[in-house]
């Protein structure tokens, strides 16, 4: 269940007659607990409560219901003191008597105490019960989720009743209608309309209960809002419609046709109207409700929206920190304050994938806050704002979010005016709505950004009669920006390889094609960076986008970043990988980075990261490279041999056998070999899958001196013949030549004692690379890498956190898996000079890891390295290994991957410089592909 569904369920529960016995179960059901779970709790099997009448769900909540005699506080205390609460690791306790309700989140100590009927207002507090990490704005302001739920029900009902409005041609009308409703709900709650609740009351009083004439009532109200007061007399308006002000034809102009309502649709509309729209938060509201109009997104109902703290991670270092710094520096100096105000009036914030405008809204609100402080210090508190809303520009592909973005900005402006200048002044200037269109609906990759956000100019070139009548796809919007600054920001769609639509592939060709870049590997979001860099050639601008971290890893790095750096851009700040959390239930959260670029960087760059302990770190560094590592401007390139003194790592043996030399356990039985033959001619073979999942796969392993004996076995002979046939039919001369030794794999690399195996791919979620050791009588296929007879301390390096962070950054990912490369990852991995004692310590660590694994036999590597379920002893063995290795590097543990990479890049620079000195420049360094 998502947050909207949970809110709806607990709202329904609060409306029902209170039933003391059923309440705990109904409450748990509202948070998505299945019938079977509840049944087990009811029968007492899973109910560990030690409080009379209590229901205790392990790891979740302890609930108790009491008589309506005012003892709720005492019952809550009993729940808090109950040994069972602690033993079952309950996160929440809740007590109610059907009149009041009290609850506590035990870790934070946060409490809720309210009338029973009011508890749905606090649903955000309880969301962790459904596995949803709560976001502060939702907790503090649940209205946005509630409004989304109500509008969603209305939207679905209206589409059902008006199927023609669901078709592509009429969807924009439907979406426009919803935007009008949102405006009316907000306006009737904020005195923009005369009389509280005027809109909802009018619909309630003037329309039939069965909904049959609701569309006519709405249409009449909309017509009034589209007619100036001076022109009303001739319009023959019904008196109840005449009470509505002229809003500006924009939002209500054009067709006043309204979809037909059912009884339910009318009820949903009234329910939506009864919410406190005054409190909606345009920062997040738009992002949530935009999902209502999106058939694919509706299921998630805006739960993927971007939280304000995440948006500020982009906006603060991009521009707001600087403005705040200037404000602090200005103190009470009137001239400096004035200059800052003037500067802000000429700042444009441009989001070329703006969705419903959340980045623009936050930027606007934050700048208004700074301006209000300037005005306060200058004794001009009631002064109108100098910051034009039209300086907050966006491009958005879809029509509904684009409409909502405009609305959200209008609402944000009104709320700021109320906050900083007072309700009276805010109302005086609010209506009619202003004319300009500053959100363009279109494809940002096809539009010329200069036409949306020109480098400078005066006046507005294309203005329609009204705000919402301006064609949505209108570009070429001009406005005053002489001497201004432009900040481009946003969270464009990421879309990795294999997930792009035909349109998106063609967009990429349009953007990257002229530069002859192989863009197939670059994520779609890369286009926004490139467009921003190109835009910066013409106007004073800086940019920062949220992106998937893959654009700063592996093969995307040399494809994308040289293009941007060629335009004299530098990374001025960056947030290294962090999890992009949202309200979606149980969301794994994609790993993202934030990259800020400018052509005029300051003397130091800011690198933000999260420590291994979850602490926020900010560091000034002299340079940030494309892998978002501070300090070193280097690009790691492949090396055909280890630069670090480590043993050589090869790809395993390639069969090149047409499927005849390798076989399953069943096929092995079919070969019908004696024990001696089996020992002599067959080996177990490991690729990535076989190694991580302990799958049995075998191969024929026939040394030349045993060939004559082997071919006497008919089943072996048949397989060798089949290989011969396959190799002879090869179009490749090398392949045909191999037919002469068809009893063997293409390579027959072997160990004398043991082999260290490193799978080619590993799931991104694992905390360690799943390398290990196999015995001398097994071999490795080309689906894995092998280090033959290497000392065990090298395994300690391979499975370290340090090595994983190197691989993740340098080799990058394939889908969501790490893709190992010997030439790029192992041969380049910087290792300091190790003493014999270091090697002995690391050997001990590697042995401890192998022993810890063995203690769980027959668990597979995949089982053991499941991040959710890694055994404690194995985790400890790895932690010890990391501790020992990292102490060798810097004498302590690294604080996080950012620090690890900084050290590794520094060592890499030194290592490659030393290698270059040692070797003549002509020596070939390119080797086998991996």
- In this chain, which stretch among 348-356, 669-677, 719-727, 880-888 interacts with ligand SAM, using CB under 6 A? 348-356
- The answer to whether the Cα torsion of 265, 268, 273, 278 is positive or negative is negative
Helix (H, G, I), strand (E, B) or coil at 341: helix
- Report the nearest approach of ligand SAM to the CB of residue 271 (Å): 26
- Report the nearest approach of ligand SAM to the CB of residue 492 (Å): 6
Helix (H, G, I), strand (E, B) or coil at 796: helix
Closer residue to ligand SAM, CB minimum distance, 357 or 770? 357
CB 909, CB 632: distance < 8 Å: yes
356-385: contacts with ligand SAM (CB under 6 A)? 358-359
- Report the nearest approach of ligand SAM to the CB of residue 179 (Å): 15
- In this chain, which stretch among 253-261, 349-357, 561-569, 803-811 interacts with ligand SAM, using CB under 6 A? 349-357
Question: Radius of gyration of the chain from Cα atoms?
Answer: 33
Closer residue to ligand SAM, CB minimum distance, 447 or 711? 447
Closer residue to ligand SAM, CB minimum distance, 211 or 302? 302
Q: Does 287 participate in binding ligand SAM (rule CB under 6 A)? A: yes
Cis peptide bond upstream of 858, omega within 30: yes
- In this chain, which stretch among 251-259, 485-493, 745-753, 820-828 interacts with ligand SAM, using CB under 6 A? 485-493
843-882: contacts with ligand SAM (CB under 6 A)? none
- How would you list the strands of the sheet with 761-763, edge to edge? 761-763, 817-819, 813-814
Closer residue to ligand SAM, CB minimum distance, 355 or 496? 355
Max Cα–Cα distance, the chain, nearest Å: 109
63-102: contacts with ligand SAM (CB under 6 A)? none
Q: Does 751 participate in binding ligand SAM (rule CB under 6 A)? A: no
- Report the nearest approach of ligand SAM to the CB of residue 836 (Å): 53
Tell me how far CA of residue 43 lies from CA of 89, 96, 501, 791, in angstroms: 21, 22, 51, 58
Closer residue to ligand SAM, CB minimum distance, 579 or 665? 579
- Report the nearest approach of ligand SAM to the CB of residue 616 (Å): 21
- In this chain, which stretch among 193-201, 353-361, 665-673, 793-801 interacts with ligand SAM, using CB under 6 A? 353-361
SS (H, E, C) 586-624: CCCCEEEEEEEEECCCCCCEEEEEECCCCCEEEEEECCE
Closer residue to ligand SAM, CB minimum distance, 494 or 691? 494
3-42: contacts with ligand SAM (CB under 6 A)? none
- How would you list the strands of the sheet with 650-651, edge to edge? 650-651, 784-788, 754-759, 772-775
Q: In this structure, what DSSP letter does residue 781 have? A: B
- Report the nearest approach of ligand SAM to the CB of residue 612 (Å): 28
Task: Select the residue interacting with ligand SAM from 96, 306, 549, 550 (CB under 6 A).
Answer: 306
Helix (H, G, I), strand (E, B) or coil at 94: strand
Angle between helices 358-377 and 399-421 (to 10 degrees): 20
Query: What are phi and psi for residue 57, nearest 5 degrees?
Result: -100, 120
Closer residue to ligand SAM, CB minimum distance, 400 or 820? 400
Tell me how far CA of residue 793 lies from CA of 66, 103, 606, 652, 843, in angstroms: 63, 53, 36, 21, 4
Backbone φ/ψ region at 44: left (φ over 0), alpha (ψ -120 to 50), beta: left
Strand partners, 485: 347
Task: Select the residue interacting with ligand SAM from 120, 149, 259, 492 (CB under 6 A).
Answer: 492
- Report the nearest approach of ligand SAM to the CB of residue 627 (Å): 23
Strands (E), 675-751: 682-686, 698-700
Closer residue to ligand SAM, CB minimum distance, 446 or 538? 446
CB 585, CB 131: distance < 8 Å: yes
CA distance 226 to 254: 9
CA distance 598 to 580: 24
Query: Dihedral angle at the C-alpha atoms of 63, 67, 71, 75, nearest 10 degrees?
Result: -20
Q: Does 575 participate in binding ligand SAM (rule CB under 6 A)? A: no
Q: Does 491 participate in binding ligand SAM (rule CB under 6 A)? A: yes
Nearest to 31 by CA among 50, 66, 55: 55
Closer residue to ligand SAM, CB minimum distance, 451 or 925? 451
Closer residue to ligand SAM, CB minimum distance, 302 or 652? 302
Q: Which residues contact 422 (CB under 8 A, 6 or more apart)?
A: 382
Closer residue to ligand SAM, CB minimum distance, 54 or 355? 355
Q: Write each residue from 383 to 422 as x if it is in contact with ligand SAM (CB under 6 A), else as -, in one continuous string.
A: ------------xxxx--x---------------------
- In this chain, which stretch among 28-36, 91-99, 268-276, 488-496 interacts with ligand SAM, using CB under 6 A? 488-496
Helix (H) or strand (E) holding 886: helix 872-890
CA distance 68 to 23: 14
Q: Does 443 participate in binding ligand SAM (rule CB under 6 A)? A: yes
Q: Does 120 participate in binding ligand SAM (rule CB under 6 A)? A: no
Nearest to 830 by CA among 755, 775, 907: 907
- In this chain, which stretch among 439-447, 597-605, 753-761, 779-787 interacts with ligand SAM, using CB under 6 A? 439-447
Q: Write each residue from 583 to 622 as x if it is in contact with ligand SAM (CB under 6 A), else as -, in one continuous string.
A: ----------------------------------------
Task: Select the residue interacting with ligand SAM from 172, 245, 254, 493 (CB under 6 A).
Answer: 493
Task: Select the residue interacting with ligand SAM from 416, 444, 564, 845 (CB under 6 A).
Answer: 444
Q: Does 523 participate in binding ligand SAM (rule CB under 6 A)? A: no
Closer residue to ligand SAM, CB minimum distance, 546 or 643? 546
- In this chain, which stretch among 45-53, 440-448, 577-585, 589-597 interacts with ligand SAM, using CB under 6 A? 440-448
Closer residue to ligand SAM, CB minimum distance, 283 or 882? 283
- In this chain, which stretch among 170-178, 350-358, 644-652, 808-816 interacts with ligand SAM, using CB under 6 A? 350-358
CB 545, CB 532: distance < 8 Å: yes
- Report the nearest approach of ligand SAM to the CB of residue 592 (Å): 10
Residue number of the CB closest to ligand SAM reads 355
Q: Does 529 participate in binding ligand SAM (rule CB under 6 A)? A: no
- Report the nearest approach of ligand SAM to the CB of residue 294 (Å): 9
Contacts from 113-120 at CB under 8 Å and sequence distance 24+?
A: 116/14, 116/18, 117/14, 118/14, 119/10, 119/14, 120/7, 120/10, 120/11, 120/13, 120/14, 120/146
CB 99, CB 116: distance < 8 Å: yes
Helix (H, G, I), strand (E, B) or coil at 787: strand
- Give the binding-site size for ligand SAM (rule: CB under 6 A): 20
- Report the nearest approach of ligand SAM to the CB of residue 570 (Å): 25
- Report the nearest approach of ligand SAM to the CB of residue 304 (Å): 7
Closer residue to ligand SAM, CB minimum distance, 222 or 528? 528
Nearest to 301 by CA among 185, 417, 147: 147
Closer residue to ligand SAM, CB minimum distance, 395 or 738? 395
Nearest to 394 by CA among 337, 332, 428, 348: 348
Query: Dihedral angle at the C-alpha atoms of 876, 880, 881, 887, nearest 10 degrees?
Result: 150
Angle between helices 334-345 and 358-377 (to 10 degrees): 160
Q: Does 305 participate in binding ligand SAM (rule CB under 6 A)? A: yes
Which spans of this chain sit near ligand SAM (rule: CB under 6 A)?
287, 305-306, 353-355, 358-359, 395-398, 401, 443-445, 490-493
């Amino acid at each position: 269940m998502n947050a909207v569904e949970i809110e709806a369920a607990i709202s329904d529960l609060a409306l029902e007659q209170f039933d003391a016995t059923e309440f705990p179960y109904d409450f748990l059901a509202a948070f998505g607990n299945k019938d079977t779970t509840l049944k087990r709790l009811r029968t007492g099997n899973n109910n560990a409560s030690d409080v009379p009448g209590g229901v205790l769900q392990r790891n979740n909540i302890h609930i108790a219901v009491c008589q309506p005699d005012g003892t709720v506080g005492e019952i809550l205390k009993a729940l808090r003191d109950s040994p069972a609460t602690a033993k079952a690791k309950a996160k929440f306790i809740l007590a109610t008597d059907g009149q009041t309700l009290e609850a506590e989140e035990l870790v934070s100590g946060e409490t809720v105490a309210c009338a029973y009927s009011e508890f749905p207002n606090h649903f955000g507090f309880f969301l962790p019960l459904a596995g949803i990490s709560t976001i502060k704005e939702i907790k503090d302001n649940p209205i946005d989720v509630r409004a989304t739920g109500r509008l969603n029900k209305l939207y679905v009902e209206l589409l059902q009743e008006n199927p023609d409005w669901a078709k592509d041609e009429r969807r924009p009308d439907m979406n426009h209608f919803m935007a009008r409703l949102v405006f009316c709900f907000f306006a009737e709650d904020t005195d923009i309309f005369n009389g509280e609740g005027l809109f909802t009351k009018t619909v309630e009083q003037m329309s039939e209960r069965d909904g049959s004439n609701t569309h006519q009532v709405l249409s009449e109200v909309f017509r009034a809002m589209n007619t100036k007061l001076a022109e009303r007399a001739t319009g023959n308006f019904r008196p109840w419609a005449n009470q509505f002000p002229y809003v500006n034809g924009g939002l209500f102009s054009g067709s006043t046709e309204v979809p037909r309502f059912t009884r339910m649709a009318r009820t949903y509309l009234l329910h939506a109207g009864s919410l406190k729209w005054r409190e909606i938060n345009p920062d997040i509201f738009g992002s949530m409700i935009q999902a209502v109009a999106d058939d694919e997104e509706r299921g998630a109902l805006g739960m993927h929206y971007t939280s304000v703290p995440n948006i500020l991670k982009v906006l603060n270092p991009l521009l707001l920190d600087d403005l705040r710094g200037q404000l602090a520096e200005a103190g009470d100096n009137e001239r400096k304050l004035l200059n800052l105000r003037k500067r802000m009036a000429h700042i444009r914030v441009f989001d070329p994938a703006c969705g419903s405008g959340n980045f623009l809204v936050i930027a606007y609100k934050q700048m208004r806050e700074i301006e209000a402080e300037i005005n306060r210090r200058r004794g001009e508190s009631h002064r109108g704002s100098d910051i034009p809303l039209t300086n907050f520009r966006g491009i958005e592909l879809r029509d509904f979010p684009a409409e909502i973005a405009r609305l959200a900005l209008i609402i944000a402006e009104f709320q700021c005016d109320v906050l900083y200048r007072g309700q009276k002044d805010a109302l005086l200037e609010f209506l009619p709505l202003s004319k300009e269109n500053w959100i363009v609906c279109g494809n940002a990759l096809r539009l010329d950004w200069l036409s949306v956000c020109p480098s400078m100019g005066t006046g507005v070139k294309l203005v329609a009669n009204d705000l919402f009548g301006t064609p949505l796809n209108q570009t070429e919007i001009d406005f005053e920006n002489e001497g201004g600054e432009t900040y481009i920001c946003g969270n464009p769609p990421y879309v990795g390889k294999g997930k792009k639509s035909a349109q998106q592939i063609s967009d990429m060709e349009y953007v990257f094609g002229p530069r002859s870049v192989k863009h197939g590997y670059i994520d779609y979001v890369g286009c926004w960076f490139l467009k921003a860099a190109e835009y910066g050639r013409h106007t004073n601008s800086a940019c920062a986008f949220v992106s998937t971290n893959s654009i700063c890893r592996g093969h995307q790095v040399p494809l994308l970043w040289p293009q941007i750096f060629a335009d004299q851009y530098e990374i001025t700040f960056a947030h290294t990988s962090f999890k992009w959390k949202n309200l979606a239930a149980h969301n794994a959260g994609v790993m993202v980075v934030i990259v800020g670029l400018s052509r005029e960087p300051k003397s130091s760059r800011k690198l933000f990261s999260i420590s291994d302990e979850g602490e926020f770190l900010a560091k000034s560094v002299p340079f940030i490279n494309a892998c978002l590592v501070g300090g070193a401007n280097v690009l790691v390139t492949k090396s055909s041999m280890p630069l670090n003194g480590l043993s050589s790592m090869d790809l395993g043996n390639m069969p090149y056998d047409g499927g005849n030399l390798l076989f399953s356990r069943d096929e092995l039985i079919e070969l019908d070999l004696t024990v001696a033959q089996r020992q002599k001619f067959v080996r177990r073979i490991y690729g990535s899958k076989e190694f991580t999942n302990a799958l049995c796969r075998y191969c024929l392993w026939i040394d030349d001196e045993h060939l004559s004996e082997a071919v006497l076995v008919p089943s072996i002979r048949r397989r060798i013949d089949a290989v011969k046939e396959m190799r002879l039919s090869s179009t490749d001369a090398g392949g045909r030549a191999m037919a002469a030794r068809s009893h063997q794999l293409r390579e027959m690399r072997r160990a004398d004692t043991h082999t260290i195996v490193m799978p080619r791919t590993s799931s991104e979620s694992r905390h360690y690379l799943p390398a290990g050791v196999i015995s001398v009588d097994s071999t490795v296929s080309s689906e894995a890498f092998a280090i033959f007879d290497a000392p065990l301390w090298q395994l300690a390096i391979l499975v370290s956190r340090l090595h994983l962070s190197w691989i993740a950054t340098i080799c990058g990912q394939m889908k969501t898996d790490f893709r190992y490369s010997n030439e790029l990852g192992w041969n380049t991995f910087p290792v300091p000079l190790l003493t014999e004692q270091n090697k002995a310590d690391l050997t001990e660590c590697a042995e401890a890891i192998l022993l810890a694994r063995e203690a769980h036999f027959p668990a597979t590597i995949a089982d053991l390295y499941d991040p959710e379920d890694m055994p404690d002893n194995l985790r400890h063995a790895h932690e010890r290994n990391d501790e020992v290795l990292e102490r060798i590097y810097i004498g302590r543990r690294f604080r996080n991957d950012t620090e690890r990479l900084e050290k590794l890049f520094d060592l890499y620079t030194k290592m490659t410089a030393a290698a270059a000195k040692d070797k003549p420049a002509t020596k070939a360094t390119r080797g086998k592909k991996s």
